[in-house]
Amino acid sequence: MPEHTRQASMAALGLLFFSFLMFTMPFFAFFGVQRIVRDCFDIDGFVYIGWSVLAVVVTVNAIILAYAYKAYHEPEYDDEGNEITPEHLVNVEKPPCFLRKFSPDGKHFIAFSADQTSLEVYLYNGPSAAGDILDGICGEYIPNRNDGKTYEVRSKVFERFFKPKFSINVCQSIEQLNRECSLFSDDGRYVIIGSAAYIPDDLRPHFYQIYTNNEAVCPNPRSPLEDYSLHLVDLYAGRLCDTRQFKVDKIFLSHNQGLYLYKDILAVLSVQHQLIHIFQILDGMFLDVRKIGRFCFEDDSYFINSVYPTERPFRDTPINSLKHRLLVFLYKRAKAISDQCQHPYELRKFYQCFENFRSLRLWKMQLLDENHLLIKYASEEVVTLKSNEPNSQPSFFVIYNMSEGKVLAVYDNMSKDLLGLFENFCDSFRNAGIHTESQFTCSPSNNLYARLIQQRFKQTIVSAKFGGKTEATKRLLAQLPISAQSYSSSPYLDLSLFSYDDKWVSGLERPKACGEHPIRFYARDSGLLKYRIYAGVLGKTVPPTARRLVAFTFHPTDPFAISVQRTNAEYIVNFHIHHTSS
Mean pLDDT of 109-124: 93
The pLDDT of residue 88 is 64
The whole-angstrom separation of Cα 42 and Cα 28 is 20
In the chain, the N- to C-terminal Cα span, in Å, equals 23
The whole-angstrom separation of Cα 268 and Cα 280 is 11
Mean pLDDT of 505-509: 87
The pLDDT of residue 548 is 80
pLDDT band of residue 2 (cuts 50, 70, 90) is very low
The whole-angstrom separation of Cα 111 and Cα 97 is 6
3-state secondary structure of 440: coil
The pLDDT of residue 138 is 64
3-state secondary structure 269-301: EECCCCEEEEEEEECCEEEEEEEECCCCCCCHH
Question: Is residue 48 predicted with pLDDT exceeding 50?
Answer: yes
> CA angle 396-289-227, nearest 5°?
75
Span of 37-46, 88-97, 166-175, 514-523 with lowest mean pLDDT: 37-46
The pLDDT of residue 87 is 54
Mean pLDDT of 480-485: 91
The pLDDT of residue 44 is 67
State the DSSP code for 57.
H
Cis (ω within 30 of 0) for the bond into 481? Answer: yes
- Among 301, 279, 299, which residue's Cα sits nearest to residue 288? 279
Read off the pLDDT of residues 400-426 as tens digits, 9 standing for 90 and up.
999 999 999 999 999 999 999 999 888
Is pTM, for the whole model, over 0.85? no
pLDDT band of residue 89 (cuts 50, 70, 90) is low
Q: Mean pLDDT of all residues in the chain?
A: 84
With contact defined as beta carbons under 8 Å apart, do 550 and 531 qualify? no
Mean pLDDT of 41-51: 70
Mean pLDDT of 274-303: 90
Mean pLDDT of 331-356: 93
| Type of residue numbered 317 | T
User: Count of CB atoms within 10 A of residue 312's CB?
Assistant: 13
The whole-angstrom separation of Cα 292 and Cα 278 is 8
3-state secondary structure of 369: coil
3-state secondary structure of 102: strand
Mean pLDDT of 54-64: 83
pLDDT band of residue 245 (cuts 50, 70, 90) is very high
With contact defined as beta carbons under 8 Å apart, do 526 and 562 qualify? no
The pLDDT of residue 8 is 58
Mean pLDDT of 137-155: 69
With contact defined as beta carbons under 8 Å apart, do 106 and 558 qualify? yes
The pLDDT of residue 409 is 95
- Among 97, 92, 98, which residue's Cα sits nearest to residue 155? 92
Mean pLDDT of 60-66: 84
User: Count of CB atoms within 10 A of residue 554's CB?
Assistant: 24
CA atoms within 13 A on the CB side of 560: 21
- Among 466, 488, 486, 468, which residue's Cα sits nearest to residue 476? 468
3-state secondary structure of 374: strand
Share above pLDDT 90 across residues of the chain, in percent, rounded to a whole number: 39
pLDDT band of residue 119 (cuts 50, 70, 90) is very high
φ/ψ of residue 224, rounded to 5: -70, 155
Read off the pLDDT of residues 235-244 as tens digits, 9 standing for 90 and up.
999 999 999 9
| Type of residue numbered 267 | A
DSSP string, 460-514: HHHHSTT--HHHHHHHHHTTPSPPTT-B---GGG-TTTEE--TTT--SB-S-EEP
Question: Is residue 39 predicted with pLDDT exceeding 90?
Answer: no
pLDDT band of residue 45 (cuts 50, 70, 90) is low
| Helix (H) or strand (E) segment spanning residue 3 | helix 3-41
Question: Is residue 1 predicted with pLDDT exceeding 80?
Answer: no
Mean pLDDT of 178-196: 93
The pLDDT of residue 82 is 45
DSSP string, 133-180: HHTT--SSEE-S--SHHHHHHHHHHHHHHEEEEEEEE---TT-EE-TT
Span of 68-72, 340-344, 495-499 with lowest mean pLDDT: 68-72
The whole-angstrom separation of Cα 439 and Cα 430 is 12
pLDDT band of residue 528 (cuts 50, 70, 90) is confident
3-state secondary structure of 212: coil
Mean pLDDT of 325-348: 93
| Type of residue numbered 479 | Q
| Type of residue numbered 537 | V
The whole-angstrom separation of Cα 338 and Cα 294 is 30
pLDDT band of residue 53 (cuts 50, 70, 90) is confident
The pLDDT of residue 542 is 60
- Among 111, 229, 117, which residue's Cα sits nearest to residue 170? 117
Q: Is 378 exposed, middle or buried (0-12, 13-18, 19+ CB in 10 A)?
A: buried
> CA angle 451-452-455, nearest 5°?
85
Q: In terms of DSSP bridges, do strands 86-89 and 570-578 run parallel, antiparallel, or are they unpaired?
A: antiparallel
3-state secondary structure 321-367: HHHHHHHHHHHHHHHHHHHHHCCCHHHHHHHHCHHHHHCCEEEEEEE
The whole-angstrom separation of Cα 99 and Cα 113 is 9
The pLDDT of residue 81 is 47
Read off the pLDDT of residues 77-88 as tens digits, 9 standing for 90 and up.
444 444 444 556
With contact defined as beta carbons under 8 Å apart, do 566 and 549 qualify? yes
